[in-house]
Amino acid sequence: MPTYPSNSLHFAKALKGALPSAPKPTGAPVGLNILLVGAGLGGLATAIALTQAGHKVTIYEQTAVLGEVGAGIQIPSNSARILFELGLEPYLKPYVTMPESITFRRWQNGKVIGKTRLIPDFVDNFHAPYYVIHRADFHSALCQKAQDMGIEIKLGAMVVDYDPVLGSITLADGTSHTGDLLVAADGIKSVARKVLLDGEEMPFRKPGFAAYRAVVDVNRMRNDPEVAWILERPALNIWIGDSRHVMTYTIGAGKAFNMVLSHPDSSDPAGWDVRTALQDMKAEFQGWDPVLTKIIGMVEKTVKWPLMSGSRLTRWTRGKLVILGDAAHAMLPYMSQGAAMAVEDGVALARSLSHMQSPEQLSEALGIFEKVRIVRAGQMQEASLLNGQLWHFADGPLQEARDAAMAPEVEGLPFSHSPNQWSDPATQMWCYGYETEREIDSAWTEKGGALRKDQIVETLNRNLINLAD
Ligand SMILES: Cc1cc2nc3c(=O)[nH]c(=O)nc-3n(C[C@H](O)[C@H](O)[C@H](O)COP(=O)(O)OP(=O)(O)OC[C@H]3O[C@@H](n4cnc5c(N)ncnc54)[C@H](O)[C@@H]3O)c2cc1C
């Protein structure tokens, strides 16, 4: 592939074998004993990627029972593609829904103002479907795969300290464990991040939003002709308006209707009253599209979540310790990419370690991982924050200009740019066409790492011969 941003060779990807995939690292694999902290979506995906790359992984998870809180989650194509490469397709297939499109709707009346076609466009262009799934099903698919690969998960194992020099962790029960590498996927309140930052806490950006999360019984919706139409075809629908939006889609193969209702709130979660959450949520969206408010009226219980964006860290590694997932790059959920970034992190880490030719290259491998991933995840934090602005204009000139700029995609006309970041061609290619392993390989190549110059020349020549044929 060219080293500049170009889609000119995209046509050839469809011809199987015409272009060789990124050359596999050639160094003798160095098998590491890895202690991984956190069995969330990011930790499990990373454990699977590392095990597949030949390392021995043991997971330490603080909770006594494995699981995921919340309802739906989107698995965008950039994540689905690498999950398939990790062998997860059969584990996910029974639980996923494949929405046909993402539709932006006007807050007041539900009028369609933006539209991204996911089927067949995302499969055609990014070589993997765009899925939605219940979080618990996603988590149990990863757990099942990890179990089938023989990965040991130690439950009730809360890590209270890390020694990045020795490569050891200390658990709340006082025991210590040592490995060649410590990977912390311990979430937004990461203990490991504090150790890495010499006791400092990462400054969080507080964009001033919170979200209600809820699931509606589809049978209730089906019995109401005014709202039943929304279930007819699997799709994501987002109502956007002044400082607020509501993201919806069906999960559980059409059995439940998932809603995330984002609204302004910068108050301390410690003061939130769970007893009034349902009525507060309804009040936030009063006067919005009657179809939407009718569905909101069917919600029987809701949970309110603070939404935070981490700041871009200057380091993710220290000695034998590396952090990833939300621990490293918490972001607003407005690109639906937080867990997807954690999955990419896991694959990137495994790929970078596969370039090592001796254990002495560990810090080089971690450095390359860190360099590549800080840029990618930082840009995704930025894109997520941008959606928080693009979607939340009050009615007026900016909103009108935004909606006018999305009109071609609604009318099926050609367009070269869009404020809908799912549709905007440049953002789409960067977001969903990103090739995690190739980025790591390129970084190693630039550093004169494991890929020898003659191998690169040979690959380039092969590309040219294939193209000439
Ligand atoms: C409303 C909302 C909607 C979202 N929608 C999407 C979406 O559509 N698509 C998407 O890709 N992302 C989405 N996200 C983001 C996604 O949920 C997160 O980015 C992702 O779950 C982070 O995974 P993680 O494994 O890094 O962290 P976590 O899920 O937080 O997992 C951390 C794990 O570490 C364990 N742990 C923590 N501390 C310790 C310790 N000291 N010792 C041992 N174990 C420990 C925890 O118990 C937990 O199991 C959304 C987020 C929100 C809030």
What is the per-residue pLDDT for 461?
47
What is the per-residue pLDDT for 372?
98
What is the per-residue pLDDT for 469?
42
pLDDT tens per residue, range 364-385: 999 999 999 999 999 999 999 9
pLDDT tens per residue, range 203-230: 888 889 999 999 999 999 999 999 999 9
Residue matched to tokens 């990462």: 202
- The percent of residues in the chain predicted with pLDDT above 90, rounded, is 83
Helical pair 77-85 and 338-354, crossing angle rounded to 10 deg: 40
Give backbone dihedrals phi and psi of 156, rounded to 5 degrees, phi first: 65, 25
Model confidence band, residue 97 (pLDDT cutoffs 50, 70, 90): very high
Instruction: For residues 238-242, give the mean pLDDT.
Output: 98
Distance between CA 298 and CA 294 in Å, rounded? 7
Q: Which atom of ligand 1 is nearest to the CA of 41?
A: 25
Q: Which atom of ligand 1 is nearest to the CA of 192?
A: 41
pLDDT tens per residue, range 380-389: 999 999 999 9
CA of 326 relative to ligand 1 center, distance in Å:
6
pLDDT tens per residue, range 115-145: 999 999 999 999 999 999 999 999 999 999 9
Model confidence band, residue 464 (pLDDT cutoffs 50, 70, 90): very low
Model confidence band, residue 9 (pLDDT cutoffs 50, 70, 90): confident
Model confidence band, residue 18 (pLDDT cutoffs 50, 70, 90): very low
CA of 327 relative to ligand 1 center, distance in Å:
9
Distance between CA 156 and CA 64 in Å, rounded? 4
Pocket of ligand 1 (CB under 6 A): 37-43, 60-63, 73-74, 158-159, 185-188, 191, 211, 213, 260, 305, 325-326, 333, 336-340, 342
Among 36, 41, 130, 137, which is best to mutate for testing ligand 1, by the most ligand atoms less than 8 A from CB? Answer: 41
Among 97, 130, 186, 262, which is best to mutate for testing ligand 1, by the most ligand atoms less than 8 A from CB? Answer: 186
Tokens of 89: 């397709």
For ligand 1, atom 52, name the residue with the nearest CA: 333
Model confidence band, residue 6 (pLDDT cutoffs 50, 70, 90): confident
Q: Which atom of ligand 1 is nearest to the CA of 338?
A: 19
Among 336, 349, 422, which is best to mutate for testing ligand 1, by the most ligand atoms less than 8 A from CB? Answer: 336
Distance between CA 164 and CA 300 in Å, rounded? 47
Distance between CA 446 and CA 423 in Å, rounded? 32
The answer to whether the CB of 296 falls within 8 A of the CB of 284 is: no
- The percent of residues in the chain predicted with pLDDT above 70, rounded, is 91
Give backbone dihedrals phi and psi of 85, rounded to 5 degrees, phi first: -65, -25
Distance between CA 340 and CA 327 in Å, rounded? 14
Alpha helices in 14-130 (DSSP H): 41-52, 77-85, 89-92, 121-126
Instruction: For residues 284-300, give the mean pLDDT.
Output: 97
Instruction: For residues 346-361, give the mean pLDDT.
Output: 97
What is the per-residue pLDDT for 12?
73
Model confidence band, residue 465 (pLDDT cutoffs 50, 70, 90): very low
Q: Are strands 168-171 and 159-163 parallel, antiparallel or unpaired?
A: antiparallel
What is the per-residue pLDDT for 14?
62
CA of 339 relative to ligand 1 center, distance in Å:
7
What is the per-residue pLDDT for 30?
87
Tokens of 349: 């880490």
DSSP 97: B
pLDDT tens per residue, range 303-315: 999 999 999 999 9
Q: Is the pLDDT of residue 453 over 80?
A: no
What is the per-residue pLDDT for 69?
77
What is the per-residue pLDDT for 19?
47
Distance between CA 394 and CA 303 in Å, rounded? 26
Q: List the catalytic residues.
A: 213
Report the chain's mean pLDDT, rounded to a whole number.
Answer: 92
CA dist list (Å): 248 to 99, 160, 230: 11, 38, 10
Distance between CA 382 and CA 385 in Å, rounded? 5
Q: Which atom of ligand 1 is nearest to the CA of 213?
A: 1
N-to-C CA span, the chain:
17
pLDDT tens per residue, range 36-55: 999 999 999 999 999 999 99
Residues ≥6 apart with Cβ < 8 Å to 83: 45, 75, 89, 92, 343
Each as own residue / partner, the long-range contacts of residues 3-8 (CB below 8 Å, 24 or more positions apart, any chain) are 3/442, 5/429, 7/429
Distance between CA 35 and CA 178 in Å, rounded? 8
Q: Is the pLDDT of residue 431 over 80?
A: yes
CA dist list (Å): 61 to 185, 186, 236, 329: 10, 9, 33, 20
Instruction: For residues 258-272, give the mean pLDDT.
Output: 94
Radius of gyration of the chain from its Cα atoms, rounded to whole angstroms: 23
Model confidence band, residue 86 (pLDDT cutoffs 50, 70, 90): very high
Distance between CA 276 and CA 427 in Å, rounded? 39
Distance between CA 412 and CA 75 in Å, rounded? 25
